[in-house]
Every structure is written in C-alpha cells, then in structure tokens.
Amino acid sequence: MASRQELSDFLVSVERRAFKHAVFAVRDEEAALDIVQDAMFRLAERYADRPPAELPMIFQRILRNAVTDHFRRRKVRDLWTTLFSSILPSNDENSEQDPLEFLESQEGGTRSESAADAVERTQVMAAIEEEIHKLPARQREAFLMRYWEEMDVAETAAAMGCSEGSVKTHCSRATHALAAALRARGISL
C-alpha cells in the first residue's frame, strides 16, 4: 500500500513526463494539463491503496484512458463547433506561447552553455518532439512508455492492453522511424 508520501513522490516524479506525453498526444498544453490533472485524481481516488511498484503502470493506463476520453469529448464538441462555427469567435491569439515564459523556462542549468550550444540543443529537442508527434499513436505510446518511462515489455503491454509482441513491434518501428527522420534532418544524436 502506497503511503501519502510515496504517492506524492510518485506524482512528483512522473508529472512533467506525463504532461509531455499528453502534449504529444493532444498537441494542446491546456488540454494536456487537464488530462494530467484528471489522471492524478483518478489515481489518487481509486488506486492510492496499491503498492508503489504498481503505480507507474496503473498511472500510464489511466493517462492513456484520459487521452482517449479527451478525444471522445473533443469529437462531440467539434460537432457542435462545426454547426455553430459562423457565430463562434476565433481564439488563435490564445494559443501563442508567452515569450517571457519561454525565457524563464530556459533559466538554470544551461547558463554555462554558450548561446549557440543552447540554441542548437533547443532545436534538436524541438525536432525530436516534432518527430515523436508524427509517430502513429500506438508506436508513440509504446516508445515513450518503454524507453522514457522505463517500463518493461510486460508492463507496457498491460498498460496498452495489447500483447508483448505488439509492444516490441511498435517500439522497433518507432525507433527506426525516429532515427531515420532525425537523420533526414541532419541531426546526429
């Protein structure tokens, strides 16, 4: 059984990566934050009594379901938005990132780097994220769970609701697709 401190530590360790997972899936920061919050609530309400070792797999499954729920809701909302699109105002200006936030987020840890190195690293990170965005959803999920969350094949398969063989296939295809795409961009890792 996970104590409150263990649950807190787990959420601290996983929350930023979960946010990035959600952003990769839905491509919308606000929606991603809502999804992560929803996943945290579900984990705390329903699975807080599980052993700490089980939390990563359970949380990934919850996060995946929360993303699916988001797409279901968006499908319904888009239907109504399409019907009333002529009277709804455009909110494109809200999606722009605040440059001050970007600068603030870059502070710390990279001060010793030269400006050129920092720019290059930022560009490489952006390219990697963009290529991960482009992966098919199943390949992206398998790749991120397996190599970023460091879950084993069995845990990934359980979280994704598929066989271990499928996980291996998805991971292999994702790795090759990413390597090829980054090479094509002239990025050597």
Partner 1 sequence: MNDRQTTERIRRMLDESAEHVPYRVVHRLENARQAALARASALAEPEFAGQTGARGQVSLEEPSLRRRSRAAAILSLMLLLAGLVALSVWTDLQEADENADVEMAVLTDDDVPIAGYADRGFGVFLKNARP
Work out whether 125 is an interface residue with partner 1 (CB under 8 A).
yes
Ordered DSSP codes for 116-158: HHHHHHHHHHHHHHHHHHHS-HHHHHHHIIIIIS---HHHHHH
Look at residue 18 and give its three-state secondary structure. helix
Work out whether 1 is an interface residue with partner 1 (CB under 8 A).
yes
For residue 86, the Cα-to-chain-centroid distance in whole angstroms is 33
Q: Are 144 and 24 in contact (CB under 8 A)?
A: yes
Burial (Cβ within 10 Å: 0-12, 13-18, ≥19) of residue 67: buried
Task: Name the residue among 41, 39, 44, 46 with its Cα closest to residue 62.
Answer: 39
Chain positions 87 to 116 lying near partner 1, rule: CB under 8 A, are 97-98, 101-102, 104-106, 109
Which CB atom, from 49 or from 92, has the smaller least distance to partner 1? 49
- For residue 174, the number of C-alpha atoms closer than 13 Å in the C-beta half-sphere is 26
The C-alpha atoms of residue 171 and residue 176 are separated, in whole angstroms, by 9
Q: Which of 83, 88, 154, 179 binds partner 1 (CB under 8 A)?
A: 179
Which CB atom, from 85 or from 106, has the smaller least distance to partner 1? 106
Stretch that binds partner 1, among 70-78, 84-92, 128-136, 162-170 (CB under 8 A): 128-136
Work out whether 17 is an interface residue with partner 1 (CB under 8 A).
yes
Work out whether 162 is an interface residue with partner 1 (CB under 8 A).
no
Chain positions 24 to 83 lying near partner 1, rule: CB under 8 A, are 29, 33, 36-37, 40-41, 43-45, 48-49
Which positions lie near partner 1, rule CB under 8 A? Answer: 1, 4, 7-8, 11-12, 15-17, 19-20, 29, 33, 36-37, 40-41, 43-45, 48-49, 97-98, 101-102, 104-106, 109, 121, 124-125, 128-129, 132, 143-144, 147-148, 172, 175-176, 178-179, 188-189
